[in-house]
Amino acid sequence: MITLLVPILSLAQVSADSLKSDTGMSAEYKSEHRSQFKIRMSPFAAIASSAGIAYGFVKLGNHGLSDLDIAARHEFALEHPHSKFRVDDYLQFAPGALVLGLSAAGLKGRNRTIDQAGIYLLSNIILTVSCQSLKRITKVPRPDGSSNAFPSGHTAEAFASAEFLSQEYGARSLAYPISGYAAAVATAYYRMYNNKHWLSDVVAGAGIGFLSTRASYWLYPKIKKLLSANENGRSVLLPSNGHNAVGAAMICYF
């Protein structure tokens, strides 16, 4: 269990650090006076998330790290017989759903509900394209014998959602990022517990998910500005979800 938590919880610590460096907030919540989208990437955040992704790639050609994957699988999935507990299929979305639920209920976050939805959608597009592309390129077998293990899409979604919750409501209370990252770590654990992913899959997925949300905060205002520049409202953004992929298309009329 320690083998899993050390690299993954290093990403969770990023959230606590960013509450100070990214927001500069006091105990009083002042979302109306701060930049809604501008968040800084600390060196620790960049190193921790990049290291998680790099670890997954290095493992692909490293026998030592492959042996670590096998040992982790034995500890989490094979040591004691157990039935699958597929809470990870739902837990991955819990932090993101909490953000939209709190905002819809009237509790102010960093952004308005419509912008939160846009950021979350964009984050999902980024992580889905990244994960699905890597799965098809690497074709790593899963521990249970099925295909396309690397990286873990569930873990990427969970960490993207956790960072989304942290950015939107972390300045209100540390309980939000802590609960979000707890759900993310639990999702990663259950992906291995259910014999669906290797340790390296979930570590890389955590890095991809975290960076996907950070990237969405940087990209979203630029996309929003592009759409707003069309005064006649002749640009339409159409989200789509199908065939295990999330996407979007923009139609512009000239």
Give residue-wise pLDDT tens across range 67-107: 999 999 999 999 877 888 889 999 999 999 999 999 999 99
Q: Of 47-61, 157-171, 227-241, give the lowest mean pLDDT range.
A: 227-241
Spatial distance between the Cα atoms of 63 and 73, rounded to a whole number of angstroms:
15
For the cut 90, the answer to whether the pLDDT of residue 112 exceeds it is yes
Quick one: which of 96, 99, 161, 95 has its CA closest to 127?
161
pLDDT at 72: 96
pLDDT at 118: 96
pTM for the model stands at: 0.82
Neighbours of 78 (CB within 10 A): 12
Phi–psi pair at 22, nearest 5 degrees: -85, -35
3-state secondary structure of 248: strand
Spatial distance between the Cα atoms of 188 and 182, rounded to a whole number of angstroms:
10
